[in-house]
Structure 1
Amino acid sequence: MELYRANNSQMDYNNDGRDPKSAKILGNNDDRLDSGLDSLKEEEYVEFVSDFKRIDLHELDEEPWRKELTEDGDTYLHLAVIHEATDAALKMIEMSHGSPFLNKQNNQRQTALHLAVITDQPVIVGQLLKAGCDSSLVDEQGNTALHIACRKGSMACFGLLTQGCSKHLPAILQMPNYSGHKCIHVVAVHGFLSLLESLIQLGADINAQEQCNGRTPLHLAVDFQNYEMVKLLVTKGADVNSLTYGGHTACHLTYGRQNTCIQRMLHEVTAPQLRELPESKSEDSGADDEEQSGSEDDIYDDIRMMGQ
């Protein structure tokens, strides 16, 4: 049974020649569809379909189909999205317009919207948004559905998410995941040029610093040696003099790297005093440091213990 079918026409291949599908989507922990996808065997899936067909979606009293959960916390809607049972998923979405059911999260805190983006089903994404699904909810790794679309390079899902959540879009663009990456950082890492341009047009901060060590999208593009991404960022006005928390410019990160074209480009546009690598602390330290340190007796004279 084929659990994942990507639509090539919907993916952004403008990423320095790398095919986004070259990464094994289902093999990446970031892209697991649910916490027990492999445990849902063929016979169990057939049983699920059989059970679902017996459910009366028009049963408006208790609607038990909204309350059923698997051991992984998946609802019938989650399962329908995972297994691309489009008709069933669309019917449930139609019957749940404005209902909290649409925002139920499984054990990995994934909503149906997260799963629809992972499986690249823009039709489901669009209907979920129209029905009131909350696009600002995050999974267990802090990713919104837009983070996932940016990681996968799905133009169709990206377009629907940015158009369908325009009210909350500025806040979503500023949301870092639990790795400290905003959507623009994710795009820079994965090299999707057209998505980067779209994010900038939508108001994403081209100089945003990721929370781990203060790298901007330009620093990340250098880290991944993506010449086209570096060139685009510089053209779009990225601050080439921006420093990481460790005090390094993007130009500093080019030293020791293979792509000399990136180094030459950044060397020309970086401020002269920020082009060369700063001297190491060990080289800076010496007699001056010793003079400033004073005697051993007063090195720790600012420490207080137990009020003393």
Structure 2
Amino acid sequence: MDIHSMRGQMDYNSVLMEPKHGKMLPGQEERLDSGVDSMQDDEILKEFEDMSVSAGEERTEEYERWREAVTEDGDTLLHLAIIHEATEQALHMIQLSRNHSYLNKQNHQRQTSLHLAVITEQPQVVDRLLKAGADPLLADNSGNTALHIACKRGSLACFGVITQNCQRHLTSILSIPNYSGHNCLHLASINGYISLVESLVQLGANINAQEPCSGRTALHLAVDLQNPNLVRCLLELGAEVNCQNYGGFTPYHLTYGRQNDEIRCQLYERTAFELRELPDSESDDSDMEELLEDEVYDDIKFGK
């Protein structure tokens, strides 16, 4: 079967299946889309193996019809190849689509091939996509770029590939917040990936960047999470201990009511004397308890 007839042959609504090799799907916000459930493994691999064109053939309009094939959930053939870890076929399609808008097509969760390659931990595919012209600034429906996802998942390999290939866009990528108000440094901090935190700061990430939702910095987050190793790392990297969130609270203020003495001691001597007391001494315990809760900022939801 030649490639331009593939669209007519593929049944995207075939039998539901488990992900390849029995892998569990990621969390709901990073699920691999129902494209995973759209074809059985042996069926999709056979379709890819039947691709009979070569990169050197003349690219006629008829020849390129395979790029129009999408599932009811918006997944392209390249999306499906990446999801199913059909690496050879994915790399072939990337080669054929160099500097083509096909590489940046988004499914109904606004995931691109680049997002999916990071989620499935395929740094080789990430590298080929970026070298072929994939856009690292595109965000999914949670506002995450591919680098956000690498930082959230602790993927050192994908992180390295993205940052090495995106020097021109690096400043923008490092500073962009997702729809929860978290930039890459915030995500690495929240998930306790100290090596990523160090790498991000070395690459130029603003260590004192504040969440637009609350004004917390990575150091505030480290205290919230009661992670003494992360607190120590951020202090060594030059985090500002006197930075106040939008409520006027420094990282040291967030140690009130917390049990970790190591964190309190790390921050006490470094915090300005006038900023050691709570800004509102008349605040009752319920107010402070509410302040110290670990907040998770979700997308705004309308209705139920």
TM-score by length of 1: 0.80
CA distances 1:137-196 after superposition (whole Å, capped 9, x unpaired): 100000010001101111111111001010011111111100011111111101111111
Counterparts of residues 41-190 of structure 1 (less than 5 Å): 42=40, 45-58=41-54, 60-62=59-61, 63-190=64-191
Contact 2:36 2:83 in 1 (8 A): no
Choose between structure 1 and 2 for higher RCO, CA contacts under 8 A separated by at least 6 residues. 1
Letter of the structure 2 residue corresponding to residue 166 of structure 1: Q
Q: CA deviation at 1:230?
A: 0.3
Contact 2:109 2:141 in 1 (8 A): yes
The alignment partner of 1:269 has SS state of coil
Letter of the structure 2 residue corresponding to residue 70 of structure 1: T
1:3 maps to which of 5, 8, 20: 20
Contact 1:55 1:65 in 2 (8 A): no
- Aligned residues with identical type, % of pairs: 55
1:156/1:4 Cα in 2 relative to 1: closer, same or farther (>3 Å)? Answer: farther
Contact 2:241 2:270 in 1 (8 A): yes
Contact 1:57 1:95 in 2 (8 A): no
1:27/1:199 Cα in 2 relative to 1: closer, same or farther (>3 Å)? Answer: closer
Letter of the structure 2 residue corresponding to residue 26 of structure 1: L
Question: How many matched pairs?
Answer: 262
1:48/1:5 Cα in 2 relative to 1: closer, same or farther (>3 Å)? Answer: closer
Taking the aligned partners of 1:116 and 1:137, their CA distance within structure 2 comes to 14
Contact 2:118 2:146 in 1 (8 A): yes
Residue aligning to 1:276:
277
Taking the aligned partners of 2:26 and 2:187, their CA distance within structure 1 comes to 19
1:40 aligns with 2:41: no
Contact 2:111 2:141 in 1 (8 A): yes
Q: CA deviation at 1:280?
A: 4.9
Contact 1:102 1:128 in 2 (8 A): yes
CA distances 1:194-226 after superposition (whole Å, capped 9, x unpaired): 111111111100000011100000000111111
The alignment partner of 1:51 has SS state of helix
CA distances 1:60-113 after superposition (whole Å, capped 9, x unpaired): 213121110001100000000001000000100111111110011111101100
Taking the aligned partners of 1:41 and 1:95, their CA distance within structure 2 comes to 23
Residue aligning to 2:28:
29
CA distances 1:228-271 after superposition (whole Å, capped 9, x unpaired): 00001011110000000011000011111121110111111101
Runs of 4+ in 1 over 4 A off after TM superposition: 280-283
Taking the aligned partners of 2:215 and 2:95, their CA distance within structure 1 comes to 44
Q: CA deviation at 1:48?
A: 2.5
Taking the aligned partners of 1:234 and 1:94, their CA distance within structure 2 comes to 45
- In structure 2, stretches of 5+ residues that fail to align are 1-17, 285-304
Contact 2:186 2:217 in 1 (8 A): yes
Taking the aligned partners of 2:275 and 2:173, their CA distance within structure 1 comes to 33
Q: CA deviation at 1:47?
A: 2.7
Q: CA deviation at 1:37?
A: 4.8
- In structure 1, stretches of 5+ residues that fail to align are 7-24, 284-308
